[in-house]
Chains A and B, each alone.
Chain A
Amino acid sequence: MKKFKFLSLFLVLALVLAACSNSNSSSGEGGDSGGSNDGGEGKLDIFSWWTGAGEEDGLNALIDLFKEKHPDVDVENAAVAGGAGTNAKAVLASRMQGDDPPATFQVHGGAELNEGWVAAGKMEPLNDLYEENGWNDKFPEDLIDMVSKDGDIYSVPVDIHRGNVLWYNTKVFEENGVEVPTTFDEFFAAADKLKAAGVTPLALGDKEPWTATQIFENVLLGQLGPDDYKKLFNGELSFTDPKVKESAEIFKKMLSYINEDHSSRNWQDASQLVANGEAAMNIMGDWAKGYFVNDLDLKVKEDFGWTETPGTDGMFMIITDTFGLPKGVSNPDDVKKFLTVLGSVEGQDVFNPLKGSIPARVDADKSKYDAYGQETMEDFKDASLAPSLAHGSAAAEGFLTKVNQAVNIFVTQQNVDQFIDSLDQASAELK
């Protein structure tokens, strides 16, 4: 009997111990994945949300290039699926807060980096890496500003996407005798003509509300110009400004030309409407080009064309993916090796043609890009840059979430005063 008692006690103790040691070892592993072996042998996990067709190919090509140059470093593609990185950002936030940062991670340049991870004190400055590689004059100054806070540079941009692009179906435009619009007046004239002909003038898929926010930010940019647009987000210009209200009125008018089932579609579904001629135009970042070309087999310029959104000629709504060095990784030298490849002409030219973006460097090899890419690279050199709000570059995620909510309500209710009110209230989030 006694034996049995001891046995059962022992069993319980064993269970408790097992539970404890289990949790110990798992937290130990957590530390490891950040790479606990120093001396270049720790695993280099590259965290991103690049799991879509072209972007995954680009990332893999980049990793292959890196392996070629540094065969001794163990690289892991730690991508998390999900459009616009919504799931990935949640995973990243919990890893960062648990002091288990990935070796390097994808982050949009601008507020998402500066007001997010840099402000939280989670990033290492990379000024020495820039100097070592002579990058300070290889990236445009405006771009370096977007990844810097208080004079320190915190990440390396790998690609550039343009947000202020109006895509159109060339056949629908020709059939209805519509000219490519460059101002809002021309846009609405064209839209009326198309609507009369029974074509949906503007395709929208706002199942995820950022697509509608993206139209609004482009209207804001067109009405305010890049300088005043940027002032909105540093508090110098109030959202109650008459020009903002005017923009909201224009946005509202644009919403009267959209497809009825917009809330059941995502941006790809909306692009499809343009591709098959049910709708004539679509306002979307230039990742839509990759979708048109790779997924829908359309030909650049032949099947679809593009122009800047109304009133934004010479402006560039910029979305840039960058990678930085988080604090607390134990293989910073390996990470820097990776960032060096990422920032090199070779690295940018292997990645961007596959992803369908343009390189962040100004000295990349143009011949590797298609007609759209070459034209955009040319524009990028001279255009004045404006950070995208819808993609977290203009303001912190907290503000963006509230703007998305206000936009979602506005698309249905179309109450301009209420919309301006909510934007103004949300702007209290901007420090």
Chain B
Amino acid sequence: MDPVRSSVKETPSEIKMKTSKKKRVLTKDHMLAIGFLTPSLILIAVFVYGFIGWTGYVSVSNWNSLVPDFSFAGFENYVYLFQDFRFQADLRNTLFFTIMFILAVIVVGILLAIMLDQKIRQESLFRNIFFFPMALSFVVTGVVWQWLLNPSTGVNLFLSKIGLDSKWYTDTTIIPGVEWGKIEFGIPVALIAVVIAAVWQMTGFSVAMYLAGLRGIPEEVREAARMDGASEFQVYWKVILPLLRPITVSVVIIMAHISLKIFDLIYAMTGPGANYVTDVPGVYMYETTFRGNYYANGAAIAIIMLLSVAIFIVPYLISSRKGES
């Protein structure tokens, strides 16, 4: 309750009221605010934070069969996971998927946004075309790209004519494949196919963000740069891109939390893949919990995923709070 009250107190009108009527602690506005916030606070407390707590509790229990067993297991489940081939592969895959995915979304997004910003004809048509994949579900994207990048059908029918066919998501190569723990560490080639599908779907979002950003930069700034003798490339590289930095931060945060939690695209498109080259924690969690009945292991994976997303989200929340005050 405290954060609510204090945030309500901040508004200037409240402060004025307090000074005029010192005795009434709960003003009408207070009551209203508390009244309207309480139900959602209770619901979020139970259904978000309560369940996170419950998952954390299960993750340190011995509940690894159909029969719930809440005896304390310590960090056994976590230790098991970090020694497990499949989970190590998942961590590797998530790391490289996130890096490749975010980089591609940013680069392609900026390029398309700059092209759209050239005062072209039918701009809104192109904007819609690029944005449209966002309207699809990841499952649809997954099924479509599964066929497009299928090694025996799909684009390989064309590519093989020019001798360029690839094994796409069935490739088990890992570059460079250094031994690390139980796995080979490096970029799994099969993931590139998944990155292509994910980028196809999500780039529209970054295009829209960057386009809005570009429109927010006043024409005078570019003019000034040109007057100072900057070439068109320098205008973008030295002036426009630095000004787009806040947009990039937002895109990274939003894309990172999507890619760290990704499940549906992978599940529909490739599944765990041969030798777990396209497996991610979400898929592992689903299979181990609901097929293997390892509930505690599944809960531990969920907590690790939560923490990995928190690494991105928490600093963002802190900095945006600072920005507000």
Choose, from A32-40, A85-93, A148-156, the stretch at the interface. Answer: A85-93
Which residues of chain B are near A208, meaning CB under 8 Å? 271
Nearest CB in chain B to that of A10: its residue: B35
User: Can you give 11 A-B contacts (C-beta < 8 A)?
Assistant: A15-B39, A19-B39, A93-B290, A116-B293, A119-B66, A120-B65, A208-B271, A209-B272, A398-B65, A398-B292, A408-B272
**How far apart are the CA atoms of A183 and B274 in the complex, in Å?**
28
| Cβ B291 vs Cβ A89 within 8 A | yes
| Cβ B67 vs Cβ A120 within 8 A | yes
**Residues from 140 to 183 in A contacting B, C-beta threshold 8 Å:** none
Q: Judge if A245 is at the interface, Cβ distance under 8 Å.
A: no
Choose, from A191-199, A259-267, A367-375, the stretch at the interface. Answer: A259-267
Nearest CB in chain A to that of B279: its residue: A408
**Residues from 176 to 229 in B contacting A, C-beta threshold 8 Å:** none
Q: Judge if A400 is at the interface, Cβ distance under 8 Å.
A: yes
Q: Judge if B234 is at the interface, Cβ distance under 8 Å.
A: no
| Cβ B293 vs Cβ A263 within 8 A | no
Q: Quick one: which of A96, A398, A411 has the most chain B CB within 10 A?
A: A398
Query: What is the distance, in angstroms, from A146's C-beta to the closest C-beta of chain B?
Result: 19
| Cβ B271 vs Cβ A207 within 8 A | yes
**How far apart are the CA atoms of A70 and B156 in the complex, in Å?**
56
Which residues of chain B are near A400, meaning CB under 8 Å? 291-292
Q: Judge if A308 is at the interface, Cβ distance under 8 Å.
A: no
**In the complex where A8-B32, A261-B152 touch, is A397 in contact with B292 (Cβ < 8 A)?**
yes
| Cβ B31 vs Cβ A8 within 8 A | yes
| Cβ B273 vs Cβ A117 within 8 A | no
| Cβ B276 vs Cβ A260 within 8 A | no
Which residues of chain A are near B68, meaning CB under 8 Å? 97
Q: Judge if B150 is at the interface, Cβ distance under 8 Å.
A: yes
| Cβ B36 vs Cβ A264 within 8 A | no
**In the complex where A120-B66, A263-B273, A402-B292 touch, is A8 in contact with B35 (Cβ < 8 A)?**
yes
Q: Judge if B263 is at the interface, Cβ distance under 8 Å.
A: no
Not counting A120-B67, A396-B65, a sample of 20 additional A-B residue pairs whose C-beta atoms are within 8 angstroms of each other reads A1-B28, A9-B31, A16-B38, A16-B39, A86-B291, A89-B291, A97-B68, A116-B293, A117-B66, A120-B66, A260-B151, A260-B170, A261-B170, A264-B146, A264-B168, A396-B293, A398-B292, A401-B288, A408-B272, A408-B274
Which residues of chain A are near B28, meaning CB under 8 Å? 1, 4-5
Query: What is the distance, in angstroms, from A428's C-beta to the closest C-beta of chain B?
Result: 12
Q: Judge if A384 is at the interface, Cβ distance under 8 Å.
A: no
**How far apart are the CA atoms of A82 and B152 in the complex, in Å?**
25
**Residues from 91 to 110 in A contacting B, C-beta threshold 8 Å:** 93, 96-97
Which residues of chain A are near B272, meaning CB under 8 Å? 209, 408
**In the complex where A120-B66, A401-B288 touch, is A12 in contact with B35 (Cβ < 8 A)?**
yes
Q: Judge if A206 is at the interface, Cβ distance under 8 Å.
A: yes
Q: Judge if A412 is at the interface, Cβ distance under 8 Å.
A: yes
| Cβ B64 vs Cβ A261 within 8 A | no
| Cβ A12 vs Cβ B36 within 8 A | yes
| Cβ B274 vs Cβ A260 within 8 A | no
**In the complex where A208-B271, A412-B172 touch, is A93 in contact with B35 (Cβ < 8 A)?**
no
**How far apart are the CA atoms of A86 and B276 in the complex, in Å?**
19
Q: Which 8 A-B pairs have the closest CB atoms?
A: A401-B292, A90-B290, A412-B275, A263-B274, A12-B35, A120-B66, A261-B151, A263-B170
With beta carbons under 8 angstroms apart, the residue of B274, B275, B276, B293 that contacts A397 is B293
With beta carbons under 8 angstroms apart, the residue of B35, B152, B290 that contacts A264 is B152
| Cβ A89 vs Cβ B290 within 8 A | yes
Q: Judge if B138 is at the interface, Cβ distance under 8 Å.
A: no
Query: What is the distance, in angstroms, from A270's C-beta to the closest C-beta of chain B?
Result: 12
Nearest CB in chain B to that of A278: its residue: B152
Q: Judge if A11 is at the interface, Cβ distance under 8 Å.
A: yes
**How far apart are the CA atoms of A93 and B68 in the complex, in Å?**
11
| Cβ A206 vs Cβ B167 within 8 A | no
Query: What is the distance, in angstroms, from A366's C-beta to the closest C-beta of chain B?
Result: 37
Q: Quick one: which of B28, B32, B39, B292 has the most chain A CB within 10 A?
A: B292
Nearest CB in chain B to that of A9: its residue: B35
CB-defined interface of B50-73 with A at 8 Å, one 1/0 digit per residue? 000000000000001111100000
Query: What is the distance, in angstroms, from B289's C-beta to the closest C-beta of chain A?
Result: 8
**In the complex where A97-B68, A398-B293, A412-B172 touch, is A260 in contact with B167 (Cβ < 8 A)?**
yes
